[in-house]
Amino acid sequence: MLRYANLQIIMLNVAVYFLLVLASECTVPSKRFVAEVDLPELLQRLDGLTSTVNDLKLQNADLLRKYDYLQVKCNHPPVAFKAHLTSPISPGANQRIIFYDVQLNTGNAYHRHLGGFLAPLNGTYLFSVSVCSDNGHYIVLDLMKNAGLIGRVLAGDSVYNDCSSDTSIVELNAGDEVYVQHHASSGDYVNAHQNILNSFTGVLLQIL
């Protein structure tokens, strides 16, 4: 009888063991099913995170560009020049007027042998041209940006010596040239001596 009871206990334990094994096997598909259901959501979250990272990269690049611009703006020295024409001339048609006598050239952007200003930076600039002509004569000068007209000045009188000036504000890109030339063949004489100063001036107002 005791052996029979022990055998029953053993068989009961074996049955419980197999039931536990079966129960554990049944839970695996359930876990896999839950994981498969969550996969699209995880992929969606991953896409969202990827998009956020890309946006942050663009923002960082934009901030770096702004930082570089501010560095240039803060560290670049001022740009300004003033040059005189000290000898009278009778320019030919469309002849460039060379203002040789340089009084100021901060930033070294004015090139006296060319008579032209080369913009070192993108920015807003101010230019002024003053010119004089003798009595009985007149002169018309053009202020040029590359090959385009940005200003014009006329001086002349039938009786008196006459002087006139023109001031222009213009946006330039780095490398643009500004210079003064005779307007076609309008006029024939630029008067200049110690007491009559024809001038070409310019200054950088703001970096863009």
Q: Where are the alpha helices (DSSP H) in 76-163?
A: none
What secondary structure letter does DSSP report for 97?
A: P
| pLDDT at 70 exceeding the cut of 50 | yes
* Rounded distance between C-alpha atoms, residue 170 and residue 176, angstroms: 11
Region 147-162: mean pLDDT is 95
The pLDDT of residue 65: 85
The pLDDT of residue 31: 52
Higher pLDDT: 66 or 13? It is 66
Average pLDDT, the chain: 85
The model's pTM is: 0.69
The pLDDT of residue 12: 56
How far is Cα of residue 74 from the mean position of the Cα atoms in its chain?
Answer: 14
| pLDDT at 20 exceeding the cut of 80 | no
Region 168-181: mean pLDDT is 98
The pLDDT of residue 9: 60
pLDDT (tens digit per residue) in 83-109: 999 899 999 999 999 999 999 999 999
**Per-residue tokens: 18:** 């197999």
The pLDDT of residue 145: 98
> pLDDT band at 2, cuts 50/70/90?
very low
* Rounded distance between C-alpha atoms, residue 7 and residue 193, angstroms: 134
pLDDT (tens digit per residue) in 22-42: 555 555 454 554 455 577 778
